[in-house]
Amino acid sequence: MGERMAETADARRGEESAALLYEFGPFVLRLSDRTLFRGAERVRITPRVLDLLACLVETPGRVVTKEQLLDRVWEGTFVEEGNVNRTVSTLRKLLEESGETSYIETIPRQGYRFVVPVRKSLEPAAAPVGGARGPATVAEPELAEGPAFPSPALPSPPASAPPPATAPTIVTPPAAPRWRRRAVLGAALAILGALAVAGLRSRPPESPRSLAVLPFRFSAGAANGETLGVALADAVIGRLSRGESLVVRPTTAILPFRAGKTDPMEVAERLDVDAVLDSEVSQKGGRTRVSLRLLRRHDGKPLHVETFETGPATLFDLQDRVAERVSAALLVPLAPPSTRRDAARLAASDLLLRARKTAVEAVAAGEALDEAIGLYRRAIEADPDLAPAYVGLADALVARSPGAAEEAEESARRALAIDDRLGPAHASIGRIRMVRGAPGVEVEADLSRALALEPSYAPAWEWMGTYLLATGRAAEARTALARAVELDPTSVTALCEAGRAALVQGNPLEARGLLSRARSGAPRAPAVAALEKALRDSTGW
């Protein structure tokens, strides 16, 4: 009884904490939905900055050490003390500190203190604080001085790569009854779709629902400008595409535009997105200038225009800066950056991008994947801790030959040994299990795990659709494959699988439309030929 009473009291305190309001100066911080208002106007603030503000206002007038801020705001993440300084600087600018108004005091060698009086109260049951959301600007700190762009020139691969970490043993849960597995998966599909819709509806009306991040254009004469431009775009895509509220086209979809000569509105049409991020980088006199334009598709209207300058900055610094700016502009969450930041990671990432591009082109042309596999192996040799390279190698191996499924699974498990929350690695294992004829419960478990971790990963939806179609669940398959096509309309295999599902359900016209889209991008792809044959066999067309 005593334990239950204590638990109830703890729960009540947690609820009260979530419903707290903090009022200071013209601002109101509301914890229930993590919003900040200046008067009646909602302030656009990134999640990390809001967390830091909450830590400071909880104990006004008292020193909060940097160690406490690191533990609270960056819990479970390895970051340097400089991250605290930069985030505090961002918060100061957002609160519009001046010589007359100061909210945060720096305590040398200790931490920070919130010096403005704070009134704490419980949020009323109804009546939201503040009014409708209005435009706001997130001010960001200037980057700390650092080395200029590290050269992406590829080092000669070592004679042999260090052995990767041993993969963990994954225990497969016992098989549930067939009806229960279907019910669970159906509910998961419905919930994921509902979450995506809810996420879209919660955002401002003008916020795009889908986005293409074009390769960054570097000023004339920049060494390796095209390579750096793709690397920047890839990093921004990776950090923006983990959530469900915004569909971001994958890097493979934007690679054809790396030369920077295509009109952004044409790209928006070809990739079927609501908006395009068009960016330019120039360097002069030790300064780096970045110009960002977020353009709306249907009329070319700029939704967000911004230019910022920094001192000498690494490529990784720019990746963070741009991703944070775009995240703030779109009010979408941002995945944490990679903790590995050195020349080896940069070189390996370039090899990984080349491998992905080569693999997509090979699949579209119906050619062998040997070159892509070689590039994936070189990326792993350059950086044995680059988990996505193991995933790419696994996918390429099993696509080249089902007989390579064992080696492919070993590669995917090495990726999980590096990061067991990497959705694409779980998806690859699910696909490999399907190729090897593993029990359906194992396939579903891996693919469902992948979608739970990364709901915007198009291949996981595609392979889930393929599995559902093979098990006679055509309606669920069409739902999953439609999501795959929505996430990546340039994927030839996803288009063809969706066409096959439509055909199975007696919709040949829909199948023909999907075939036409796939054929326009890759007329020689084996998947296109297979769908053409299926249409002829079933309809005589």
Domain hosting 27: range is: 14-122
Identify the pLDDT of residue 81.
67
Nearest C-alpha neighbor of 232 from the set 361, 331, 321: 321
List the CATH number of the domain containing 378.
1.25.40.10
Q: Is residue 147 part of a domain?
A: no
Residue 418 shares a structural domain with residue 516: yes
Residue 494 shares a structural domain with residue 425: yes
Model confidence pLDDT, tens digit, residues 137-186: 333 333 333 334 443 333 333 333 333 333 333 333 344 444 444 544 55
Model confidence pLDDT, tens digit, residues 67-94: 888 888 876 555 566 678 878 888 888 8
Q: Is residue 157 part of a domain?
A: no
Residue 500 shares a structural domain with residue 466: yes
Residue 383 shares a structural domain with residue 437: yes
DSSP string of 398-429? HHH-GGGHHHHHHHHHHHHHH-TT-HHHHHHH
Verdict on whether the full-model pTM lies above 0.85: no
Domain count, the chain: 3
Alpha carbons 504 and 481: distance in angstroms, whole number: 13
Residue 418 CA: distances (Å) to CA of 269, 362, 421, 455? 38, 28, 9, 20
Last residue of a domain, one of 122, 157, 179: 122
> Does position 246 have pLDDT exceeding 80, yes or no?
yes
Nearest C-alpha neighbor of 88 from the set 64, 57, 119, 112: 112
List the CATH number of the domain containing 271.
3.40.50.10610
> Does position 203 have pLDDT exceeding 50, yes or no?
no
Residue 499 shares a structural domain with residue 365: yes
Residue 415 shares a structural domain with residue 288: no
- What average pLDDT does this structure show over 505-522? 90
pLDDT band per the 50, 70, 90 thresholds, residue 235 = confident
* Segment holding 120, helix H or strand E: strand 119-122
Identify the pLDDT of residue 86.
79
* Top-confidence range, 131-145, 253-267, 332-346, 499-513: 499-513
Q: Is residue 158 part of a domain?
A: no
pLDDT band per the 50, 70, 90 thresholds, residue 126 = very low
Last residue of a domain, one of 100, 122, 144: 122
* Top-confidence range, 27-41, 255-269, 350-364, 457-471: 457-471
Last residue of a domain, one of 122, 147, 170: 122
Residue 48 shares a structural domain with residue 89: yes
Q: Is residue 148 part of a domain?
A: no
Please answer whether residues 499 and 479 qualify as being in contact, where contact means their C-beta atoms are separated by less than 8 angstroms.
Answer: no
Residue 235 shares a structural domain with residue 309: yes
List the CATH number of the domain containing 49.
1.10.10.10
> Does position 193 have pLDDT exceeding 70, yes or no?
no
Nearest C-alpha neighbor of 458 from the set 499, 413, 504, 489: 489
Residue 230 shares a structural domain with residue 360: no
Identify the pLDDT of residue 127.
40
